[in-house]
Structure 1
Amino acid sequence: MKLKFDGFILALLFFIVLAYFFPQLHRWENGEVLAWITSIGVSLIFFFYGLKLSFKQIKEGLSNWRLHVFVQLATFLLFPLLVLPFYPLISSEIQHDFWLSFFFLAALPSTVSSSVVMVSIARGNVPAAIFNASISGLIGVVITPLWMQLFVDFGQIEVLGDVYWGLVKEILIPVILGLLIQPLLGKWAARYGKPLSLFDRSIILLIVYGSFAESFDSGVFETVGVKYMVMVLVVVIILFVVIYALIYLLSKSVFKFNRADTITALFCGSKKSLTHGSVFGKFLFVNSSSAGLYFLPLMLFHAFQILVVTIIAQRYNKSFEEAEK
């Protein structure tokens, strides 16, 4: 069984190192230049995302409503509820940052492209995966800020005026425009899927670079040590294993999904989107010196979920082929 190495994970590490040694781009015009570049880039990401969708896919996906409801509840309710009970245990500022970084991860929507790819490899319900992964990001525009405003002090930032309008302007409007133009440019977006994916990742890398450069400048990472990093990794692994096991048990024992729907529920409900996390964090943690800390669990979770789910998807595929024979 061969595993493909995800070069994007290595690129993330490189840009974090780059932010540490060369934070000049972040400092240029007090970060306004980088913010302008990433804002335009994010709008284009979701415009291209809209071009890849179609009303036909959305219509086809609506039929399996039990699966969709379960996946969205797992993403936006079950996941946060696993982290929420630990909030009363917070007794220091660093513990608060640690907990909030995981709650931010838990409140995010599911991934789009990787979820669909993994479901396809595992021979799951691909149309349902496309629908769930697509709708998750749109639901997250509303739900994620609602969760986060319970525990984040936005200060002078107006949640409705600044955060929501920023997300609507950079995510919802471009997606709707792309969806409307899809009949004209949808084939072009499908033909140039790889270059567009490279563009998406480049913008995410710039957002990550800016967040870590700001955190390095503020010295927030000097307050944590190796023990903190190890704890983040350990909790990431535990969180993934627990949510994956719960989704599997509920899919089989409560909802009684078939094999294809179970795979879709597992792969869509247990994953979190680095793309949406990078964009949401840009608005939720604006001017926060701890932004780098808040992104750590998300990036580690992203890497871990790709590694583990790839192995699981390939094993599902192998078992399916053996069953066919």
Structure 2
Amino acid sequence: MSSAPDTPPTRLQRLFRRIDWFIIALLGAIIVASFLPARGRGAEILDILVIAAVAWLFFLYGVRLQTTEALAALRNWRLHSVVLACTYVLFPLLGLLTFLIPESVLPHDLVLGLVFLSLLPSTVQSSIAFVSIARGNIAGAVVAASFSNLAGVILTPLLVALILGSTVGFSGAAVGKIALQLLLPFILGQIARRWLAAWVIRHKRLTSFTDRASVVLVVYSAFSQGVVGGIWSKVSVPNVLVLAGISCVMLAAMLWLSSALGKVARFSREDQIVVLMCGSKKSLATGVPMATVLFGPALVGIIVLPVMIFHQIQLVVCAVIARRLGDQAEPALVA
């Protein structure tokens, strides 16, 4: 008995599949927090849940990251050194230039958010996906992005302390919070990896849902605190538009710099794509939880706003670039 042929998906179904529900959830968290922020006892309970969510996120990072991948960076040290230089040297220098933006153009707290954005590690999943689409060195991208996040657990807080410490009141207590909420769960995840890695792989959808749900929870908490502190009286629609414009300029500058650096280093086409994609991105999933640990409650909401806007822009722009690079590689692969 022959089975009926599969019917092709409708246009509506294709559109439904393309929707990034994670982004929809993040926007929903902001809207709910704007109208129904956590207050009083609810806010106290939410604070405890956020601490647990952040610890869970970094525990999962520790379980997922193969220690051998980080050590493998030593074998291709030139490639990964260039990616790290883009992420933690060139991008932060670009971020420092935003201090020149007058407060009449952009509120100072949003400028701090742009600087914080520049100090974050690279994305993992999207960087690897775009390198794959562009037909670059996928193995190199896995190591480069993973190593960037591993380094970021230590480097990002250090750079925040160095650059923004006096501005945001960075103290010894903050160092203790970093060690307790970020570093300790990550180390425990690395230790538990030998027992839990296979389980995490088998239940990838479940763990992916829980870590994304944790980020949504952290965003709701951050914007709840921001709304209570009057965030929307500090941020206007023109501010958001200016922020989006500056994010576009920062991304364009980093795409040009990372591309030029890959060529100057005389990397192969595949490795140049790794530098381009991994060296120009910043991680929302890591940045939002870090902000809750590094900054005071009144600042968190406004600090993470630039990170969220930049995240959307980088996904759209890099998807287009990756597709074009992949199309350019097709004739060579066919030949």
**TM-score, L = length of structure 1:** 0.89
Question: Secondary structure of 2:107's partner?
Answer: helix
Match of 1:321 among 317, 321, 330: 330
- Any conservation in 1 of the 2:34–2:224 contact (CA below 8 Å)? yes
Residue equivalent to 1:274:
284
Q: Superposed, which structure 2 residues align to 1:125-164 within 5 Å?
A: 125-149=137-161, 150-152=163-165, 153-155=167-169, 158=171, 161-164=172-175
Provide, for residues 260-285 of structure 1, a one-character-per-residue CA deviation record: whole Å limited to 9, x for no partner: 11111111111101122111110222
Matches within 5 A, 1:125-274: 125-149=137-161, 150-152=163-165, 153-155=167-169, 158=171, 161-252=172-263, 254-274=264-284
Determine if contact 1:121/1:314 at 8 Å carries over to the other structure.
Answer: yes
- Equivalent residue pairs, number: 317
- Contact map agreement 1:51 1:181 (CA 8 A) in 2: yes
Change (3 A) 1:117 1:162: farther
- Separation of aligned partners in 1, 2:217 and 2:102: 32
Give the match's secondary structure for 2:135. Answer: coil
CA separation in 2, counterparts of 1:258 and 1:318? 17
1:46 paired with 2:58, answer yes
Q: How does 1:9-20 map onto structure 2 within 5 Å?
A: 9-20=23-34
Give the Cα–Cα distance (whole angstroms) in 2 for the partners of residues 316 and 154 of structure 1.
41
Structure 2 counterpart of 1:291, one-letter code: V
Compared with structure 1, are the counterparts of its residues 154 and 241 closer, same or farther at alpha carbon in structure 2 (3 Å cutoff)? closer
| C-alpha separation in 1, matches of 2:126 and 2:101 | 35
Report deviation, 1:36: 1.2
The one of 292, 309, 313 equivalent to 2:301 is: 292
Structure 1 spans left out of the alignment, 5+ residues: none
* CA offset digits 1:215-254 (Å, max 9, x no partner): 11222322332211110111111111111111101111x2
1:148-205: CA deviations, max 9, x gaps? 33334344x62xx322232222222222222233232222111211221111111111
- CA shift at 1:50, angstroms? 2.1
The 8 Å contact of residues 60 and 127 in structure 1, kept in 2 or not, is answered as no
Report the identity percentage: 37
Which shifted more, 296-305 or 87-96?
A: 87-96
Which stretches of structure 1, 4 residues or more, deviate above 6 A after TM superposition? none
Assess if the C-alpha contact under 8 Å between 1:18 and 1:209 holds in 2. Answer: yes
Q: Deviations over 1:75-131 (max 9, x none)?
A: 111011113134255457963223211101111111122222222232222222222
Which shifted more, 261-270 or 310-319?
Answer: 310-319
* Kept after mapping to 2: 8 A contact 1:141/1:164: no
In the alignment, does 2:90 pair up with 1:72? no
Q: 1: CA distance between counterparts of 2:69 and 2:200?
A: 16
Helix, strand or coil for the counterpart of 1:151?
helix
CA distance in 2, matches of 1:122, 1:144: 28
Tell me what 2:10 maps to: none
Please tell me whether Structure 1 or Structure 2 has the larger radius of gyration of its CA atoms: 2
